[in-house]
Amino acid sequence: MTSAVARHRTALSRIELSRPVALALQHGLLDGASVFDFGCGRGDDVRRLTRLGVPCYGWDPVHRPHVKQSPADVVNLGYVVNVIEDPVERVTTLRRAWELAQKVLIVSGRLIWDARDLRARPLSDGVLTAAGTFQKFYTQEELRAWIADVLEVQPIAAAPGVFYVFRDLGAAQTFLSQRVSSRAALTRSWVSDALFERHQELLQPLVTFLSERARLPRPGELPEAEAIRAEVGSLARAFALIAHNTGLERWEELRGARRLDLLVYIALSRFDRRPRFSELPETLQHDVREFLGNYRDACVKADQLLFAAGNPDALEVSVHASLVGKLLPTSLYVHRDAIGSLPALLRVYEGCARALAGEVEGTTLIKLSWEQPQVSYLAYPDFDRDPHPVLTASVVVNLRRLSIDLRDFSASTNPPILHRKEEFLAAEDPRRIRYQKLTAAEVRAGLYEQPSQIGTREGWRETLAVHSVQLRGHRLLRMPQGSLRTLSG
C-alpha cells in the first residue's frame, strides 16, 4: 500500500444492503446459497444477510483481518478493485476472489461518472482523493474487458458497474434467458374457485410450471408430476382442466411470448460465444425443442434479428409498426412494463443495450432512438402517483461507442415532465383508463395548445395558472370565483 493512501477510509457504513448484494438477492442468486464478502469493510452486508437467513461471512484486511478466507457459492468483491492503487495487487485480488467463488463471483467498481466534481490528483492509473483514498474509475466496457482478461471468463453485466461471473456456462445461460422473459406469471385468481377447492394444492405446482415455461413438463422436471397423474390421470388432462377454467387463449398468448423470448435470448447470446445446444441447461433445451424446433435454424432466425437491429431503416420500420409506445420523430418511448409488447426487432435492440449496461435500476421509461444507435433509460420515480412526473435521471447507452453515461436532473430547478402517460403503456395496462381521462380533460381545457411551453415543470405550472386550473391527483379542477369544480374523474 502506498503510504499516502488511506484504504481504511473507503469502508462506508450503510443502512441497507450494498447495491451489488441487493441486486444478487433480487436476481435470486443468493437463494439457498452461501456467501463470502471479500473485502467486506465494516461488515454491514454480512450482518444484514445473516439476519435474512443467508449464510454469510466476510473478510477485510483492515476491519476483519483474522477471518478465514473461505470458499462459498457466491463471492462478493464489492467496490474493492477500485480502491487498490497497485494494478498488480488488483489483479491478484480479483483472481483470489474467483478462486473462492464456487458458483458466481460478483465484481463491482465505480464508473467514471462518479468522478464528477471530485477533488483529486492523479495517482497510478487512478486518483488520490482529498480524503487520502485511492479511486480507479472505469468505463463499463473497460471494467468488463479487464475482468474477462484476468479471469478468462466472459462476465455478464448485471447493472452499470456491476458484473456477474458464473462458474457454470449453463447457469449463466439460465440467468440470461430469464432476463429477457416478458411473460407475466399466471396468478391463482385466473383459476376458478371450484377447481381449486378440490385440486388447489395438487395442481398449483403445474400451474406455476406452465406459467413459467408455457409447456408441459418433461420427465424429471416436475417433482409433483406422479401425484398429479395418480389423481387426474395425466398431465395433459390436468392441463385441460386448467385451460378450461382459465381460458385457452391465455396459454396460447404465453406460448407465443415464450417463443419470442427464446429468439431474443438466442440473438443476444451472440455477444459472447454462443453456447452449443448441448451446453444449454436441459430445461432450456426442452424449451428450444418445443418452441423453435431445430437449434441451428433458430440461431439463423435469431441472427437475422440481431443484424437487423443494427440497420436504422429496419429499426424505423419496426418502430412505426409498434402497437405500444409514444412515437416521436426520431425515437420511441415505452414504459418498462411494456417492453414485452414490442416487436421482436426492438426487443433485441433494447437487449443489446442491456447486454452492455446491465439492468438500470429505477428505470421507468425506455427511449429507443433509431437515427443514432442509442437507448436511454429514464427515471421518473413518481410515474404512478404524479400525473406529470419529473425526470430525475437518465442513463444513455450508445451502441456505436459502447459507452454509457449518466445524466442527473435531480438538482434541476426546471426539469422535464411527462404528459399523456397512457401512451407509454401497453393496451391492456389497467392504468391507461385513468390516464386517458385526465389527458382528455387537459385537452378540453386547452392546456396542450402550445406544446413547446409545457415540457418543463415551470412551463406547465404557468400554463395551469393561465387557464385557471389545477391538478389534484389525476383530476383536473377549475377555479372560478375562488371555488373548485372537477373537470375529470
pLDDT of residue 24: 97
Distances (CA, A) of 202 to 186, 197, 254, 256, 333: 16, 11, 22, 27, 43
Ordered alpha helix ranges (H), 408-469? 431-444, 457-466
Q: pLDDT: is 421 or 9 the higher one?
A: 421
Q: Cβ contacts of residue 149 below 8 Å, gap of 6+?
A: none
Domain extent, residue 230, equals: 169-308
Pair 78, 144 in one domain? yes
What are the phi and psi torsion angles at 116 (to 5°)?
-60, 135
pLDDT of residue 183: 56
Mean pLDDT, rounded, for 58-73: 95
Q: How far apart are CA 304 and CA 287, in angstroms?
A: 20
**First-last CA distance in the chain:** 65
160 CB-contact burial (10 Å; exposed 0-12 / middle 13-18 / buried 19+)? buried
DSSP-assigned letter for residue 75: E
Q: How far apart are CA 60 and CA 36, in angstroms?
A: 11
413, part of any domain: no
357, part of any domain: yes
Q: Please write the tens of the pLDDT for every residue from 353-367.
A: 999 999 999 999 999
pLDDT of residue 273: 85
Residue 332: CB atoms within 10 A of its CB come to 23
416, part of any domain: no
Q: Percentage of residues in the chain with pLDDT exceeding 70?
A: 92
89, part of any domain: yes
Residue 370 pLDDT more than 60?
Answer: yes
Mean pLDDT, rounded, for 377-384: 97
Q: Look at residue 442 and give its three-state secondary structure.
A: helix
Could you tell me the pLDDT band of residue 480, with boundaries at 50, 70 and 90? low
Pair 180, 304 in one domain? yes
pLDDT, averaged across the chain: 90
Mean pLDDT, rounded, for 333-342: 95
Of 266, 290, 308, the residue at which a domain comes to its end is: 308
Longest dimension (CA), the chain: 75
Q: Look at residue 407 and give its three-state secondary structure.
A: strand
Residue 348 pLDDT more than 50?
Answer: yes
Pair 98, 74 in one domain? yes
419, part of any domain: no
**pTM score > 0.85 for this model?**
yes
Pair 242, 390 in one domain? no
Antiparallel, parallel or unpaired: β 56-59 and 35-38: parallel
Could you tell me the pLDDT band of residue 130, with boundaries at 50, 70 and 90? confident
Mean pLDDT, rounded, for 106-135: 91
Q: pLDDT: is 222 or 241 the higher one?
A: 222
Q: Look at residue 128 and give its three-state secondary structure.
A: strand
Mean pLDDT, rounded, for 95-106: 98
Q: The CATH number of the domain where 97 resides is what?
A: 3.40.50.150
Distances (CA, A) of 170 to 9, 277, 383: 39, 10, 37
2, part of any domain: no
Pair 356, 295 in one domain? no
379-384: long-range contacts (C-beta < 8 A, 24 or more apart)?
380/418, 383/335, 383/418, 383/421, 384/431
Pair 362, 381 in one domain? yes
Q: What's the grid cell of residue 314?
A: 429496419
Q: pLDDT: is 435 or 482 the higher one?
A: 435
Pair 377, 450 in one domain? no
pLDDT of residue 197: 59
Q: How far apart are CA 104 and CA 112, in angstroms?
A: 25
Q: Please write the tens of the pLDDT for every residue from 241-291.
A: 888 777 788 888 889 999 999 999 999 999 888 999 999 999 999 999 999
178 CB-contact burial (10 Å; exposed 0-12 / middle 13-18 / buried 19+)? middle
80, part of any domain: yes
Q: Looking at the 3D structure of the chain, how many domains does it have? A: 4
Residue 465 pLDDT more than 90?
Answer: yes
Pair 58, 132 in one domain? yes
Q: How far apart are CA 76 and CA 61, in angstroms?
A: 15
Residue 209 pLDDT more than 70?
Answer: yes
Pair 149, 198 in one domain? no
Helix axis angle, 140-151 to 87-100, nearest 10°: 70
Of 145, 167, 189, the residue at which a domain comes to its end is: 167
Q: How far apart are CA 51 and CA 450, in angstroms?
A: 55
Residue 135: CB atoms within 10 A of its CB come to 21
Q: Look at residue 374 and give its three-state secondary structure.
A: strand
Of 148, 167, 186, the residue at which a domain comes to its end is: 167
Q: How far apart are CA 270 and CA 28, in angstroms?
A: 24
Q: pLDDT: is 489 or 341 the higher one?
A: 341
Residue with cell 429468439: 263
Pair 248, 332 in one domain? no
Residue 192 pLDDT more than 60?
Answer: no
pLDDT of residue 334: 98
Pair 96, 151 in one domain? yes
Pair 213, 326 in one domain? no
Could you tell me the pLDDT band of residue 14, with boundaries at 50, 70 and 90? low
Residue 23 pLDDT more than 60?
Answer: yes
422, part of any domain: no
* Lowest mean pLDDT, pick from 143-152, 180-189, 306-315: 180-189
Residue 164 pLDDT more than 50?
Answer: yes
